[in-house]
Structure 1
Amino acid sequence: MHNRYITGTWLSMVKELENNKVQGVSLNLLFKVVVGNGRAVKFWLDPWVLPEPLLMGFPLLFALEKRKSCLVAKRVGFEGRWDWYRRPRSEAEIKEWRRLCRLLDEVSLNSNTDSWKWRGDEKHGFSVKGMKKLLIKEKDFSDKLIFKWVRWVPKKCNIFVWKAVMDRVPTMVSLQARNCFTGDVNCGMCNMGPESIDHLLCHCHIAIEVWNAVSFWCHTAPIFFFDVKDIVDIHKHVGAGKEKRKILKGIVWTTCWCIWKAKNDRRFNEIEANPVEIIHNIKSLGFLWFKSRSQRKGISWEKWYKFDVC
């Protein structure tokens, strides 16, 4: 597609197609026209007789063409007429002209309507799902974080932990970095260090007390984090069975949510952050969510409180 002849929103879409490539080929070149009557296909600008538009293969002739956006039907068949600024006369122009004539000798129009064909999957045709698979296939995710949601905790908890791991949570430090805040950036709970997501969930002394209490409640080795990314995999390293690890992962998510909520209560409602109260909220919310959202609906509060879940 020749960008000089496209404007506005369509230009942005064409640029996206050109910038994304599959096996070194721009996505826009994976669309090809199946020519019928030639009345909806641009002779120079659309890929119809070659995998790419003719302007790319015959740039000298394209420069001589008066009507750059002319249709195939105006250049091929009974209606076919050429409209040059001047006839091709240089050796290179004549060479291109002969090559184009040989190419067009194999073209014949018919009464069918012109249509587009997706070359990325000729068996099944175009679909958004197929396009997504094609693009993902080209990406290297070997160094990317794999984030699996916990089904029995609400979406808000999953989203919060996901955003926390990517450092997209509005802590004081991140707000200051975005020029959204110019005041005191110290932790809203302990007031003993800049409120980054790492400090809030991993290094704040109140958070550390909470994590120690959670590990004691769940009968695991002490839980601690160097940074927030450790949260995603901590359940794998606590020496528990498969089922218990799944439950513990949800409890870790719930703990993150309750710490965040306690910080907000301290900053906006002036409610003192109390580790004992946070632990109580973790157990209560965890029980409510686990009982109502998991397949273990028969679990009792007594068993949950003792973490007798397996």
Structure 2
Amino acid sequence: MVWKEEELNKWFHPDDIRVILEVQLPLFPKEDIQIWGGTQNGIFTVKSAYHFLCNQQALKDKLKASSSGTLIPQVPKPVWKLIWGCKTIPKIKTFLWKACGFGLATGEGLHHRQITVDPACHRCSEPIESIDHILFQCEFARAVWFGSPLTINFGSENMTLVEWISSWTKLLAKDKANGHLVISLCSFLCWFIWKARNNSIFNQTTTSPSAVCSMAVKAYEEFWSSKGDTALPNQASPHSTPTVQGWTPPPYPSMKLNCDASIHGEGKLSSIGFVVRNSTGLCTLAVSDPLHFTTPLQGEALAIRSRLLHALGDCIEDIMVESDCKELLDLLSRGKDSSPPIYILPIVEDIVYLSTMFCKCQFVYIPRLSNVVADTLAKKALSITGMTTWPVSSSWIINLCKGDTMCKPRSSE
């Protein structure tokens, strides 16, 4: 199914058309449904309506403000204590303090001070570039968080900086030592996301999300190394990557599918990759596809849907699907009872429907560091112009698969 662009051009504004075309349509015909935009899953609740109205009023109040004194939000005292108690360098503490106090030159801040600038985000054209948008809501920022050692996926949550810092108390209550490590790394990620934004605007320097992650982690390690501790945080967040166990072949006669998605260049380039291997660990298919999508979650879903469709055409009856996107796998495990975000609802429904066409279809979580082959294929797609099926006899494919050190061939039964 595809959008009828001639009809869209007839009835909608070009900006609306661009957003509409971003919506993924299902593979199989379905009746249209009404959704409520105030919740992630499209289901109306009184609570969401209340928050929507409160947010609208808060936005109006901000737009009426004309001096910096009226812009400083009411920040709870515990938040200030958490900022100054954060294990990080002093300039990052000052940065977080200014960010919470509306003291940074964001598009929103400059606009409120009656400085003639475009208040929109220069990366994604969000109408109001707030500090919350820069650090958490922009697709570039989400790619940084998702690609970090914490593998955090904020999804469609409109989290504010103050709310996020307030949540640090839960990390510290669970494991104080490791909580400080997690918070410290988060502070460096925020700082380097902010620096990348400034470099992009003032120096016209493009920095990829992966490069931002690398710089933040390097600075974080140097900071803790100076204190005699170089450990990275572990298991301190529900989004943390579990202990790496390595890739293993599926039991005979199953085929194992590994998928991954990649976003690069401030979200302007996106791609998927997948590999299929049999019970001996032999690669039977390796594909890179420069497919367009807007979030890592959407990309992972598109990768799984694409390969399941191909697997049916290849007459595969027993398939095991491995992905490092736990959020998506949790949705798929609940089947028709899940409530996925609106923007991936048609894709998830397609995957659930396609899975019923196999004799056996399993969805299994695999840590990111054990999903190297699919990750490499996805990144290779960033430099090609169309879907490429790589020859499985290629030396680089063979060596890549051999690199999965836990790949121990099983004997056929």
- Relative contact order (C-alpha < 8 Å, sep 6+): which is higher? 2
Q: Shorter-chain-normalised TM-score: which range? A: 0.3 to 0.5
Q: TM-score, normalised by structure 2?
A: 0.35
Structure of larger gyration radius: 1
